[in-house]
Homo-oligomer: A and B are copies of this chain.
């Protein structure tokens, strides 16, 4: 309710709350019992910036004053928390934080997490990475009941479910709420008594537990983060992944686990390895960089082609390109230079500029490409438009052949669990066979890693050998969690 954001000092906001509910790729972070809880949280969020660049926020709790403090804003962590006066207000030894990436145009401050509310039992803050598959259904029901929504995020559903729960304690109300939602979620929750980390019953999105040495001789500083790189930056020791369906509750009495869900089966998102996670993270026991290099090895084996140079599409294609070069013996070269100063917004191109085919982000390294047979290695093809532009650029720089190698299987299905993918009709691989794709992209040859090749890179003999412990729905359409909102709208089996 009270849906008045102020995205900027002067820009008005549309009041309707029926924006597309953005599928969020996000990062969460939490810390308990650290003198500099908020500064450490900014560092953790900074290391997790790749998971969301649109907005960031922190809510912290000062157990001495028994007060919450918060700051949220649009932009990078280093922008949102640049003002030392702001930092000075974020007092307390407990904090949670959130980076947000939203896929819709509606970038509203009221959507920036962590969400916070005052309940009958006191304040509570929630930060969420993932996507609920019954959020719309629950939202309609809650609005009918008289709940007033402020944001357009899935995540607010948690807050209202907690508010209306008839249970007495925060833990029981939280569990009550969790049992009503379906979907993928890694949560960090901060109440006046506890820091709680939650992973959904299939563990689709990552969440890790770490610790720093105790400052007060009583408890260590416990840390929760989406990826291990969020621990590394503050020198925290990795303890373990939070388990699927687990609530890690950290309070004055120490740390304990609740497992309110009965049967669970792991379904960790395979796309985290391919693209989304940072290369120096280790997720569910596997180092991301190593998986990517191994994919390069597999790719080289599966789809060898004679060429002069292996060129990554920077930055995400680099480890697989190194692997490809190693396995094939073809030299690895930086044939495409990435401009790291690309901001979010930039000049609206004029016709002339459009005609010139300007690329803001990538430049060809002409001396490397000119007169060469080039193998381009990229992580995925979604709509295919970017790939086409890059291929054109490489050819214009003088490449005699362009072969594209992709370190993921063809993306044929949308993700409903927290990765932003367009609807199926816009996925190139959902609409075209390999030959048509190669033509559309303009390459001399095109190959994707096979599904089994991908699983081999992760250490299994093939996909079957993994016992379906990963979610690869974007490649296979095998959705492990029911798509309740989607099916209600489009009918079952249409994703």
Contacts and interface: CB of A to CB of B under 8 A. Distances in A.
B47 A117 contact: no
Interface in A431-489: none
B367 A289 contact: yes
B353 A15 contact: no
Contact of A341 (B78, B117, B212, B233): B78
Contact of A232 (B17, B112, B366): B366
A43 interface: yes
Given A69-B12, A78-B341, A116-B3, A349 B39 contact: yes
Interface in A76-90: 76-79, 81-87, 89-90
Interface stretch (A159-167, A178-186, A239-247, A402-410): A159-167
Interface string A92-111: 00000000000000000110
A13 interface: yes
Interface string A217-233: 00000000000010011
Given A110-B4, A116-B4, A148-B148, A13 B70 contact: yes
Given A16-B123, A59-B15, A365-B280, A118 B149 contact: yes
A324 to B, nearest CB: 13
Nearest to A325: B332
Interface residues of A, number: 122
B2 A159 contact: yes
Contact of A81 (B78, B119, B347): B347
Contacts of A333: 322
Interface in A360-390: 360, 363-368
Contacts of A13: 70
B16 A353 contact: no
Given A1-B118, A78-B341, A279-B365, 11 more contacts: A9-B9, A10-B83, A15-B68, A49-B341, A50-B341, A118-B149, A146-B160, A146-B164, A280-B364, A280-B365, A290-B368
Contact of A46 (B1, B2, B341): B341
A339 to B, nearest CB: 7
A482 B233 CA distance: 47
Contact of A117 (B1, B46, B145, B212): B1
Contact of A163 (B118, B147, B332): B147
Nearest to A99: B341
Interface of A: 1-4, 6, 9-17, 34-36, 39-40, 42-43, 46-47, 49-50, 53, 57, 59, 67-73, 76-79, 81-87, 89-90, 109-110, 112, 115-120, 123, 143-151, 156, 159-160, 163-165, 212, 215, 229, 232-235, 278-280, 282, 287, 289-290, 315, 318-319, 322, 326, 331-334, 337, 339-350, 352-353, 356-360, 363-368
Contacts of A68: 14-16
B280 A40 contact: no
Given A4-B110, A235-B356, A339-B46, A148 B120 contact: no
A12 B232 contact: no
Contacts of A346: 42, 46, 78, 81-82
